[in-house]
Amino acid sequence: MQVGTDWRRSPGEGRYAWPERERRFTVVGALPGNVPGLHDPRRIEDRYLHGTRLRLRHVQVWDQSVYKLTQKVRTQAHDPAESAITNTYLDRAEYDVFASLPAAVLRKTRSIVTHGTATFAVDVFEGRLAGLVLAEVEVEDLAAPLDLPAWIGREVTRDDRYAGASLANLGASEAQALISG
């Protein structure tokens, strides 16, 4: 085996880490009536493992589940809009091992809607975040113009309070303050 200089990588580097650029927005009004074309709902439970940049995800559609372990590493230290993401798909037994670790938990229902050429993921949060609805869209260029549907509220792309791990770690009073705006 030939050892080159690229064998040592930092988290978020290497051929398995994919760039992810997302823009995130609040959604105005009650769902689902104000979002035409909303489809493909799935329940998601995210477990942000304490002391790490790892997220354990369980996605469920009807009686089928997908389990994955994800590492998201920001490419710009304080910018939640750009990251490198690495996914490992797990079976249920592997998921259960990781699920036993301390974590901040976030539950939501995610649906998909297409507007023009953009595909938005619309997340309706549960528990202490009930009432919060966010839409995110992956983009090639964060600065490029984006045709936004009428149900989109304000952009929160670079507001770290709306990043998944931040939302999962909010207390009840902080969550209510964020929701009420």
Q: One digit per residue, pLDDT tens: the chain, 181 residues?
A: 455 556 666 777 677 767 788 999 999 876 666 677 888 999 999 999 999 999 999 999 999 999 999 998 888 777 778 888 999 999 999 999 999 999 999 999 999 999 999 999 999 999 999 999 999 999 999 889 999 998 999 999 999 999 999 999 999 999 999 988 7
Both tokens of 27, joined, read 């959604």
**What total of structural domains would you count in the chain?**
1
Backbone angles phi, psi at 97, to 5 degrees: -60, -50
131 within some domain: yes
79 within some domain: yes
Q: What is the pLDDT of residue 19?
A: 75
Asked whether 147 and 115 are in contact (CB, 8 A), the reply is: yes
Beta strands in the chain (DSSP E): 18-27, 39-49, 54-61, 64-74, 82-90, 103-115, 118-125, 133-138, 152-155
Q: What is the pLDDT of residue 29?
A: 75
Cis peptide before 41 (omega within 30 of 0): no
Show the domain range for 146: 18-180
Residues in the chain: 181
96 within some domain: yes
Q: Which of 81, 168, 99, 98 is nearest to 132 (CA)?
A: 168
Q: What is the pLDDT of residue 58?
A: 98
52 within some domain: yes
Q: What is the pLDDT of residue 21?
A: 86
Q: What is the pLDDT of residue 35?
A: 74
Both tokens of 69, joined, read 């372990």
1 within some domain: no
Q: What is the pTM of this model?
A: 0.89
173 within some domain: yes
For the chain, the straight-line distance linking the first and the last C-alpha, in angstroms and rounded, comes to: 57
3 within some domain: no
Q: Which of 124, 123, 152, 125 is nearest to 28 (CA)?
A: 152
d(CA 20, CA 11) in angstroms, rounded, equals 14
Q: What is the pLDDT of residue 23?
A: 94
Q: What is the pLDDT of residue 99?
A: 98
Q: Which of 77, 76, 81 is nearest to 142 (CA)?
A: 81
109 within some domain: yes
List the CATH number of the domain containing 22. Answer: 2.40.320.10
